[in-house]
Structure 1
Amino acid sequence: MTQPTTLAERAAAAAGRTERESSSPVEFTTPNTPVDTTMPDLGDYEPGDDDPEMIPVHLAWLRVRRDVRGIAKREQYNAAGTRYNFRGVDTVVNTFGPITLKHGVNILPVRVDAEYRDTTTSKGNKMRECTVTVSWQVIGPMGDTLPSLLQSQGEALDSADKGSAKAQSVALRVLLLNAGLTPTHDKDPDASHVDRGEAPRRSARDYLDEIMRPDTARARLAQINYEIKQAGLYSAIVTNEDGAEEQLGALLFRVGNERIAGGAQ
């Protein structure tokens, strides 16, 4: 049996098509055009120990979002009198990469539209600006895709031949952050203002008292878990019921497990 050699032949073989069926040119779906989301027939396929669960793509992507949780703006730009924090491409890709792999989600660029413009810096150096619009297809572990292609844009300046690659990297970062609704967990700039009826910020001691109340439901404990992470109190040290110091998050986890074991609702 002849082994597939070209990329198209290997892709066709992986999809279960014949070489004859894959001989026609590949046609990319244009943006905003619905794609076929019919789940392929997996036949007698049995997932291996390391394979993701065979679930629809929208559920797999939801699990990716659930595992990512948040990416803080911990990198800093400080040049030319400008200073700000940001989430870099490497940080975002390093966060999403292993998690999409875990859940069997593939994110593939299927179309790149680029525009270029020559420009000059304030010091007279010649630069080339590249702006790209990338169309992405999100594929789940079963081979089904989201109902339509996703689009994101990226822009970059470069003095050599790296502008296109940089711009596409930016577009990938934008896609992952936007499609993943990825929070930064930054503090609300208005958190210190209570003149509009907002409740004042709660202390670790307040949360401790609520956690330890026997009538606090498991659903409320789960909500407290989210709140203390948002407030930066997860690692706050409190005094537990035995008089020992313990992190608030660890105490919450322990109490929650004890109540689950006791049959609490």
Structure 2
Amino acid sequence: MGLRENAAAAAGRALTDDTQDQLAGDGAETALLPDPMADYEPGNDDPEMVPVHIAWLRVRRDIRAIGKGEVYNQSGTRFNFRGADTVVNVFGPVTLKHGVNVLSTEVEADYGEKTTKSGSKMRECTTLVHWTIMGPMGDTLTLQTRGEALDTADKSTTKAQTVALRTLLLQFGLIPTQDKEPDTDRIERGEDPIRPAVTYLDEICNPHTSAGRLRQIHHELGSTRQLGALVTNEVGDEEQIGAMVARIGKERAAAGDR
């Protein structure tokens, strides 16, 4: 019995006559390796053999939510976020449980250079990552996400891919943050303060104010019910501001200022 026959026997199968003739004819001397899955039978701890979309749904069901438990607080800017390590630490054990593999199959990267406020140079990387989600039965889903990152050394590509991974897990996992629903807060809008009529005088009397702007001022005064307010006009007489705007507007229009 030759090497090929020994390998096949170790794998629990025999070479057919056709296979033996083919191998004999190609002059190959390398033994056939045993198929590691030939005699595989799922055990109690193995994931259930379900399609990938079912396995992914089970991952989502088990994770439920990931809160924004990390805080960024630098240079006067403060916000809560879900870091990549936190997200991967949550997803890792659950994907193992359900036999789901997350594989990056292609990465497209673009690079640029940015200058910080302090004048230092940073390398910018923007990636488009193609992902394959493989289920326990070997069937797959194909997805893609983008990531963007800056770094002063040689880590911008790694950081950008990490951002793309976090985006993949959170967005395609539809993982909520446990934050309070926006609709639970109801904020009443306050009324904008009314501009007093007297504050329009300088603009009304300015010879460079167009007739169109004067018409707008007249509308603004009317909407705030101030057309009857008494003011001191350009010659020192007391006059209702609505009448004053209309009079000066007609004078500007007659002078050819449209």
Equivalent position of 2:175 in the other structure = 182
How does 1:1-265 map onto structure 2 within 5 Å?
A: 45-146=40-141, 149-193=142-186
Once residues 186 and 103 of structure 2 are traced to their aligned partners in structure 1, the CA distance between those partners, rounded to angstroms, is: 44
Q: Which one has the bigger helix percentage?
A: 2
Shift of 1:102: 0.3
Give the SS at the match of 1:166. Answer: helix
CA deviations over 1:18-74 (Å, ceiling 9, x no partner): xx9xxxxxxxxxxxxxxxxxxxxx876310232111111110000000000000011
The list of structure 1 runs, each at least 4 consecutive aligned residues, that deviate by more than 3 angstroms after superposition, is 42-45
Taking structure 2 as the reference length, what is the TM-score of the superposition?
0.57
Once residues 185 and 118 of structure 2 are traced to their aligned partners in structure 1, the CA distance between those partners, rounded to angstroms, is: 43
Shift of 1:82: 1.2
Give the SS at the match of 1:72. Answer: coil
Shift of 1:81: 1.7
Once residues 101 and 158 of structure 1 are traced to their aligned partners in structure 2, the CA distance between those partners, rounded to angstroms, is: 32
Once residues 183 and 75 of structure 2 are traced to their aligned partners in structure 1, the CA distance between those partners, rounded to angstroms, is: 29
Give the SS at the match of 2:136. Answer: coil
Shift of 1:135: 0.3
| Residue identity opposite 1:163 in structure 2 | S
Once residues 181 and 140 of structure 1 are traced to their aligned partners in structure 2, the CA distance between those partners, rounded to angstroms, is: 18
Runs of 5+ in structure 1 lacking a partner? 3-19, 21-41, 196-265
CA deviations over 1:139-179 (Å, ceiling 9, x no partner): 00011112xx2011111100000110011000000000001
CA deviations over 1:89-131 (Å, ceiling 9, x no partner): 0000000000000000001000000000011100011100111
Once residues 189 and 49 of structure 1 are traced to their aligned partners in structure 2, the CA distance between those partners, rounded to angstroms, is: 44
CA deviations over 1:215-254 (Å, ceiling 9, x no partner): xxxxxxxxxxxxxxxxxxxxxxxxxxxxxxxxxxxxxxxx
Shift of 1:189: 3.0
Give the SS at the match of 1:176. Answer: helix
Runs of 5+ in structure 2 lacking a partner? 5-22, 24-36, 189-258
Taking structure 1 as the reference length, what is the TM-score of the superposition?
0.56
Once residues 74 and 68 of structure 1 are traced to their aligned partners in structure 2, the CA distance between those partners, rounded to angstroms, is: 15
Count how many residue pairs are aligned between Structure 1 and Structure 2. Answer: 155
Once residues 138 and 190 of structure 1 are traced to their aligned partners in structure 2, the CA distance between those partners, rounded to angstroms, is: 35
| Residue identity opposite 1:66 in structure 2 | R
